[in-house]
Amino acid sequence: MCGIVGLFCKSAELEPRLGEYLGAMLAQMSDRGPDSAGVAVYRDPASDGWTKLTLYSHDPAMAWDVLGGELAAAFGGADVAGVRARHAVFVVEGEAADVEEWIRRNRPDVRIMSAGRVIEIYKEVGRPPQFVEQFRLEDFEGSHGLGHTRMATESKVTTEGSHPFSTGLDLCLVHNGSLSNHNRLRERLRREGIDFQTENDTEVAAGYLAWRMREGASLEEALEGCLEDLDGFYTFLVGTADGFAVLRDPIACKPAVLAETDDWVAMSSEWRAIAVLPGAADARMWEPEPTVVYAWEKALV
């Protein structure tokens, strides 16, 4: 079944409470996804020439400072920006592709959850309220974020199999639904150089978007391509460095609600998650139409 939430701050005054509101929205979706939860938060841009990465280790006693020293020796500069549960955010001097390749080659025990300049991804198995507490979501400030609560249907319940999935710089996807042609599409995308780390169908959709955009498509064009190339049913919420976008398949059997005020834009699988936001009672609310791409970016608000 799964639950999706997203919040875009149109007002800078709302940004200090992004994590608090995102956590409250996520908690409302607990019964739609009791298996695991995750968020992508966009905040604290890395400096020019530096890459921000969210890394994950199965080892709760992981020596992140040791890895930081190894990265600093390899690239000339690296800092641990924060550690939450089994995740750590690093900023490293160098191009993302070079840093990611070094990690995959030298530290295969570490999973790259996200890379870019502003994105951070955290996800874990367990019920959403525990996730919100474990990762101290109320501490997060940022411009926008999205989240997911998972009820697994086609792959096992693991941290790696939780949403969001990121296969491109500052790009991530959460999904409610199921894709029937993901195995065939995964092989096609692997031939195009897209790397996958799970058997989850949503990771294939994220990889598809990354591939289309690498080939020159805009986000809107990449999402429109989903309507031709992805078989199944889906509500997608996609995060980018500048905002987020929503798409429902032609049948639109998976629920979605959008709402907007002068201060924010919000999306969720159900209204009750949006109702926790300030001014929700006065928000303009609507159900997104099937096959229509809805997008908000910093430059447009």
Active centre residues (catalytic): 2
Residue 180: closest CA among 229, 223, 219:
229
Cα–Cα dist 230/80, whole Å: 38
CB of 197 within 8 A of CB of 262? Answer: no
Please name every residue paired with 144 in a beta bridge, in sequence order, or none if there are none. Answer: 8, 42
Cα–Cα dist 107/119, whole Å: 21
DSSP string, 241-257: SSEEEEEE-SS--S--E
Cα–Cα dist 85/47, whole Å: 25
Cα–Cα dist 136/130, whole Å: 10
